[in-house]
Structure 1
Amino acid sequence: MSPEEKMRASAARYVRHGEQVHAVIGAQTKNPYLVVLVGFWYLLFNRYRMIVVTSERIAVLDADKVSFKRPRAVLYEHHRDTQLGPAAGRFWHKADFGDETLYVHRRFFNEIAKADLAVLG
């Protein structure tokens, strides 16, 4: 089972009845380049998020402090017509979600494109 499939499986309990999952995206709350400056202390300040894009909404889930693979709760939701991309950046994409800025790694850029394609039709 791939990491993306594991993420979809763990997010399944936060998906409402009748919703189809279009994309699952891992993200973090602090600038990833700060780890170079603060090292281990970065783990104290950073939080991981899982962005679940469904046919009805975009749900941002709180996850573990060390991984985005195990969600704990829905933090907030956005309208489905919200675009996440286009993903830009060599390694990280910076996305603003209301009061929170999230950083998405390059490995999820295809998921962002899939989510936006579902909006544009």
Structure 2
Amino acid sequence: MATRENEEDAKMPSDVSGRLSVFDRFATHTSNFVSRAWFFVLCVLLVIIWAPSYFLLDSTDTWQLIINTMTTIVTFLLVALLQNTQKRADDAVQHKLNALADGLSDIMAHLSKNYPDLDHDREELRDAVGLENRENTR
């Protein structure tokens, strides 16, 4: 029998608030911004502009340090922001899967009157996806 480790975390789509924090909205806008083709072209243009600066700088080390520092900072910040949007997307998919599993469980409960074997399968389904037993209020 499967354990219900995330029973408190399991939410249905109707339980999820549509309100996003300021950081979540910022992360979403940033994700939309950097996922466009022109952003990639902008990054390539920056590298093309950086490359000839080799002739303007006295040291090769300084020249390399400039691009290494810029790319490290941008990568670090974008990974944090994109991780936020990915986690929220994963959570949304999980909520939808919970709703599907809950609906299937309800159908199986209804049909188990005629097919008693479905009751055992229904319990296995609920245990496998971590759905808690709730009373039907409808």
TM-score (norm 2): 0.19
Q: Which structure has greater helix proportion?
A: 2
TM-score (norm 1): 0.21
| Higher CA-based Rg | 2
Higher relative contact order by CA 8 Å / sep ≥ 6: 1 or 2?
2
